[in-house]
Amino acid sequence: MILRKFSSCAIVALVVCAAPSARADEAAAREHFKRGIDLYDHKKFPEALVEFQAAYREKPSGGIKQNIALSYKGMNEPVKAANAFEEALDEGRTTLKPDTRDAIEHELGELTRDKVATIRITVVDSTSEPAKPLDGATIAVDGAPLAPEAARRPIHLAPGIHVFSAHRDGFADPPEKRLGLVVGAPVDATFQMGTKFGTLAIHPSVKDAVVRVDGQEVGRGDWTGKVSQGAHKLKINTKN
């Protein structure tokens, strides 16, 4: 079910309160949306996608993201469609009408059952007792970092083997996970962030002095680097 009605309640608020430039953006979003609907009805899915994406840039909403997802589906891009449906549910969690939400969940259910693999990733701070979820981590799939908000949603991928990694400033990176994913069988994976790291800055009074941290030479002269939380042995040699 494609969304065919541009949000009217938001339009009223913008007409009353927004600056002229914002009203122009609202009008542009409406025009892109209308063109997208017409192109979608004529099964010109790539062209419809461009228009819906332009409408979304002017006025982001879960409903427009639903139309973006349906355009990807029409283009036979099931992975992109599934992830866009997830984004629509997330972004519209407080604004989507029940029938629209039901339609998105139906479309997503068909894709996850028949065409795409799914993984749910959790990042936890294992230095706390008990371990607790850790916000702000960046997840990468096959070396490509995902948007920060992607970590809170199921991630949909083509079936096969994928490599996952996680990074969070202030923690040592946990080992990568190499997992085989199949259609219709969601996988849950957890990254445990262990040793906390901090930044150590050393500024010797002698230029080119040898800097050693815990017995290992780390540089000469001014040095800044990451070290694990706790006590460390520092040694500065003015001679080799």
115 closest CA partner among 152, 83, 71: 83
Q: Which segments of the chain are extended strands (E)? A: 117-125, 132-133, 138-141, 144-145, 155-157, 160-167, 177-181, 187-193, 197-202, 210-213, 216-220, 223-228, 234-237
**Pairing between strand 117-125 and 187-193?**
parallel
Domain span at residue 153 reads 117-193
Least confident of 16-20, 97-101, 150-154, 172-176: 16-20
More confident residue, 157 or 222: 157
How many domains does the chain contain in total?
3
Position 93 in a domain: yes
Is the same domain home to 105 and 130?
Answer: no
Instruction: List the structure tokens of 10.
Output: 């938001």
Examine the pLDDT at 233 and tell me if it is beyond 80: no
Examine the pLDDT at 221 and tell me if it is beyond 90: no
Examine the pLDDT at 19 and tell me if it is beyond 70: no
Is the same domain home to 150 and 135?
Answer: yes
Position 68 in a domain: yes
Q: Are 53 and 41 in contact (CB under 8 A)?
A: no
Q: At 238, is the pLDDT very low, low, confident or very high (cuts 50, 70, 90)? A: confident
List, in order, residues 6 or more apart from 185 with CB less than 8 Å away: 117
- The pLDDT, as a whole number, for residue 131 is 80
d(CA 240, CA 232): 21
Instruction: Indicate which CATH number applies to the domain containing 78.
Output: 1.25.40.10
Position 225 in a domain: yes
Mean pLDDT of 125-145: 90
Instruction: Indicate which CATH number applies to the domain containing 157.
Output: 2.60.40.1120
Position 187 in a domain: yes
- The pLDDT, as a whole number, for residue 15 is 31
Least confident of 167-181, 205-219, 224-238: 224-238
Position 1 in a domain: no
List, in order, residues 6 or more apart from 133 with CB less than 8 Å away: 122, 123, 124, 125
Examine the pLDDT at 6 and tell me if it is beyond 80: no
Position 3 in a domain: no
